[in-house]
Amino acid sequence: MTTPAAPAAEDKGTEPATKGFVVQIGVFTSYNNAEALRQKLKESGIEARTETRVQLGPFTDRAQAEAAMEKIRSLGIRGVLVPQR
């Protein structure tokens, strides 16, 4: 008879994989289209927000992403390296 393995101990030194959740409804190239959807949701009693992003990449490895960050730093622009999950 085999005894089941004990559950792995929780690592208290790491943060949870997520800080919460959002429901992404769409990604738009036109702000006006995004705003029209937000307004439609608002009219239905659902609060939503729009967000505008400028991103570089995706890059296949960290070195490529860091090289791009260095290039934008030379222009006086700061960026944040965000791993894609």
How is the chain split into domains, by residue range?
A: 23-53, 56-85
Handedness of CA 8, 12, 18, 20 (dihedral sign): positive
pTM over 0.75: no
The mean per-residue pLDDT over the stretch 54-73 comes to 91
Round the CA-based radius of gyration of the chain to a whole number and report it: 21
Provide the phi-psi class of 57: left if phi over 0, else alpha when psi is between -120 and 50, else beta: left
Taking only the tens place, the pLDDT of each residue in 5-61 is: 544 555 555 555 666 777 888 888 889 999 999 999 999 999 999 988 888 998 988
